[in-house]
C-alpha cells in the first residue's frame, strides 16, 4: 500500500511525490495508488515553478489506498518515473504570479467574507479598495440581476443610453466634460497617458510626450503603466521600459521644476499613494503642481484608481484637496466589484481624441455600467460620506490607541477616509499574517505599511471588532518578539 507523506508546511502548495515502476503504461497512472505506487517517498518538492509545469499535464489520479481525502482525484503529473500529486489547496492552473494566502472564499456578506470551511473573516481589504459597498450589497445584486436579463454586451458600435447616463453623472459630480469607459485601472492609465500625449499632438506639439511621475507611485502592470510606475522590482526582466516618463522624488517641487523640459506633456500623480504605503503629498504640493502645469501649459493627471469613488471620504480625493486635475483615472470601486475603469477629462484636455484614436471591446459593457450606476446611486445619497468620515475618525482614534500600547509592533497611522495605513515596526507581512490568524483581512503596502481598507459601509461595531483583533495580533507579535530576544 502506498505511503504518501506531506513534507511542505501548509502554505500554498501541498506536494506529494511517489515512485512508480518504470514500465507502468501511462493509461495505468490513473488507476489506483495501490497499483501505481509501490512505496511512497517524500521529497519536499515545493517550488511553484514545478507546480506550474506539472499542472500543464492535466491528469488526475484516483487513490484506493488509505490516503487523506484531499488526495483523492488530485491533479498529478509524471516526471522521471515519479508522480507528483497536488492537493486541492494548490491552484495549479493559475499562473503563479500572486503569493496567495492559503484561504479560499466562497461567499461574502457586507463586511464579512466566509471561507470554504465556514470561517468568517472581517474583510478590511475590500478586494484592495474595490468592494466599497461590501459584499452582496442588495442594490448592486438587484442591478446586476436585472441587467443580466436584458443585455450583457452590444459593443461600442452603437449608442449606450446607460453608459451616457453614467458618464453624465460622473461629469456632473466632477470637473470633467467627457468620459471613456474601460475595464481596469491599468487600462484607464494607459488611456490617460495616450490622452495627455494626444492633447499636445492635436495642438501642434507632437514633441511634447513626456510625463513626470513620482517615486513610490503605482499605476498598473501593463508596459506603459509599469514604466510610469518606474519601480525596478516590477520592470526587471521585461525588456527596456517604455520611453516617455521622468520620475522624481515624491513631494519634491524643485525636482519637478528641473524635470520639466521642451518635451514635457504633463504630470501624473496619485492624490494619496496607495500601494506606495498610503503616502500623502506634503501640504501645498498638489496646489504647486497645478500652478506649474498652468504656467507651462502641461496637463495635470490624477490617478484616482484607488482614492476615487469614496475611499478618502468624498466621491473623489481631489475634491478634498482643493486642486482640480485636467484628467483623472478611476477603476476599483467604480463597479463595486464588477470590473470597470474610466478616464475623466475636460473637453480641452481631450482635444483630438476623435473616432479611432482609442477604443476597447468591453469598455462600457452594460453589466459594468449597471453596477457602476447602482454604486453611484448609493454613494450620492445624503449622509453617505458623513458616515465614511465618521468611521474614519473612529478607526484612526482606535488605531492610535493600539499604537500607544504596542509601540514595538506598530508606529504610525496614515491616510484619509477609509484608506488607512499603519506603519509596522515588525515586518508588515508578519502583521498581515497575524491579523489573518485573528480573522481580520488587511493588505500590505510599500514602506512597511499595512492597509486597512474596510468597505465604506462598515459599522462602528465592526470597526471596534477589527481593533480588538488588531490588539490580539499585536499582543501575539509582541510576545513572539520578547521570546526571541
Q: For ligand PLP, what does the binding mask look like between residues 446 and 475, x meaning CB under 6 A?
A: ------------------------------
Q: For ligand PLP, what does the binding mask look like between residues 284 and 323, x meaning CB under 6 A?
A: -------------------x-xx-----------------
User: Binders of ligand PLP among 383-402, rule CB under 6 A?
Assistant: none
Per CB under 6 A, the segment of 99-107, 115-123, 147-155, 183-191 that binds ligand PLP is 183-191
CA distance 474 to 180: 45
Burial of 239 (C-beta count, 10 Å sphere; 0-12/13-18/19+): exposed
Candidate residues 123, 190, 246, 275; the one interacting with ligand PLP per rule CB under 6 A: 275
Candidate residues 140, 170, 186, 426; the one interacting with ligand PLP per rule CB under 6 A: 186
Q: Which is nearer to ligand PLP, 182 or 467 (CB)?
A: 182
Q: How far is the CB of 278 from ligand PLP (least distance, A)?
A: 11
> Rg of the Cα trace of the chain?
25
User: Quick check: 270 binds ligand PLP (CB under 6 A)?
Assistant: yes
Annotation says 303 is catalytic: yes
Q: For ligand PLP, what does the binding mask look like between residues 341 and 380, x meaning CB under 6 A?
A: ----------------------------------------
Catalytic residue among 175, 332, 385, 423: 332
User: Quick check: 331 binds ligand PLP (CB under 6 A)?
Assistant: yes
Per CB under 6 A, the segment of 55-63, 198-206, 212-220, 424-432 that binds ligand PLP is 212-220
Catalytic residue among 303, 316, 396, 452: 303
* In the complex, residue closest to ligand PLP by CB: 185
Q: Which is nearer to ligand PLP, 87 or 125 (CB)?
A: 125
CA distance 142 to 138: 6
Annotation says 238 is catalytic: no
User: Quick check: 193 binds ligand PLP (CB under 6 A)?
Assistant: no
Q: How far is the CB of 101 from ligand PLP (least distance, A)?
A: 18
User: Quick check: 325 binds ligand PLP (CB under 6 A)?
Assistant: no
Catalytic residues: 218, 303, 332
Task: List residues binding ligand PLP (CB under 6 A).
Answer: 184-186, 189, 218-220, 270, 274-275, 303, 305-306, 331
Amino acid at each position: 500500500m502506498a505511503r504518501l507523506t506531506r513534507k511542505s508546511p501548509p502554505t500554498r502548495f501541498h506536494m506529494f511525490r511517489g515512485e512508480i515502476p518504470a514500465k507502468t503504461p501511462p493509461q495505468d497512472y490513473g488507476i489506483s495508488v495501490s497499483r501505481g505506487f509501490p512505496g511512497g517517498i517524500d521529497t519536499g518538492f515545493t517550488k511553484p515553478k514545478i507546480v506550474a509545469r506539472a499542472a500543464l499535464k492535466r491528469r488526475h489520479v484516483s487513490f484506493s489506498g488509505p490516503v487523506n481525502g484531499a488526495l483523492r482525484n488530485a491533479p498529478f503529473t509524471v516526471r522521471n518515473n515519479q508522480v507528483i500529486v497536488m492537493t486541492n489547496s494548490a491552484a495549479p492552473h493559475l499562473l503563479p504570479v500572486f503569493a496567495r494566502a492559503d484561504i479560499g472564499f466562497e461567499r461574502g456578506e457586507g463586511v464579512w467574507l466566509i471561507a470554504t470551511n465556514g470561517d468568517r473573516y472581517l474583510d478590511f481589504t475590500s478586494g484592495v479598495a474595490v468592494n466599497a459597498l461590501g459584499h452582496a450589497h442588495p442594490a448592486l445584486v438587484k442591478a446586476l440581476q436585472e441587467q443580466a436579463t436584458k443585455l450583457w454586451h452590444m459593443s461600442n458600435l452603437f449608442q449606450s443610453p446607460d453608459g451616457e447616463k453614467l458618464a453624465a453623472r460622473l461629469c456632473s459630480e466632477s470637473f470633467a466634460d467627457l468620459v471613456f469607459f474601460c475595464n481596469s485601472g491599468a487600462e484607464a492609465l494607459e488611456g490617460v497617458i495616450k490622452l495627455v500625449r494626444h492633447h499636445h499632438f492635436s495642438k501642434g506639439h507632437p514633441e511634447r510626450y513626456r510625463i513626470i511621475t513620482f517615486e513610490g507611485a503605482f499605476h498598473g502592470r501593463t508596459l506603459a503603466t509599469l514604466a510610469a510606475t518606474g519601480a525596478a522590482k516590477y520592470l526587471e526582466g521585461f525588456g527596456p521600459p517604455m520611453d516617455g516618463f521622468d520620475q522624481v522624488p515624491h513631494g519634491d517641487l524643485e525636482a519637478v521644476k528641473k524635470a520639466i523640459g521642451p518635451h514635457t506633456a504633463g504630470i501624473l500623480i496619485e492624490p494619496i499613494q496607495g500601494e506606495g504605503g498610503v503616502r500623502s503629498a506634503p501640504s501645498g504640493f498638489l496646489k504647486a503642481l497645478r500652478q506649474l502645469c498652468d504656467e507651462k501649459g502641461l496637463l495635470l493627471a490624477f490617478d484616482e484608481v484607488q482614492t476615487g469613488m469614496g475611499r478618502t471620504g468624498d466621491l473623489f480625493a481631489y475634491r478634498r484637496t482643493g486642486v482640480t486635475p485636467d484628467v483623472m483615472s478611476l477603476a476599483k470601486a467604480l463597479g463595486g466589484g464588477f470590473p470597470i475603469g474610466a478616464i475623466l477629462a475636460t473637453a480641452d484636455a481631450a482635444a483630438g481624441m476623435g473616432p479611432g484614436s482609442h477604443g476597447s471591446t468591453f469598455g462600457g459593457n452594460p453589466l459594468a455600467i449597471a453596477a457602476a450606476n447602482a454604486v453611484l446611486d448609493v454613494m450620492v445619497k445624503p449622509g453617505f460620506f458623513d458616515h465614511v468620515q465618521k468611521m474614519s475618525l473612529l478607526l484612526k482614534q482606535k488605531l492610535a490607541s493600539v499604537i500607544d500600547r504596542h509601540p514595538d509592533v506598530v508606529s504610525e497611522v496614515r491616510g484619509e477616509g477609509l484608506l488607512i495605513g499603519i506603519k509596522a515596526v515588525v515586518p508588515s507581512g508578519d502583521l498581515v499574517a497575524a491579523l489573518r490568524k485573528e480573522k481580520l483581512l488587511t493588505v500590505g503596502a510599500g514602506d512597511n505599511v499595512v492597509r486597512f481598507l474596510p468597505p465604506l459601509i462598515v459599522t462602528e461595531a465592526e470597526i471596534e471588532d477589527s481593533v480588538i483583533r488588531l490588539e490580539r495580533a499585536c499582543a501575539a507579535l509582541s510576545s513572539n518578539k520578547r521570546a526571541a530576544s
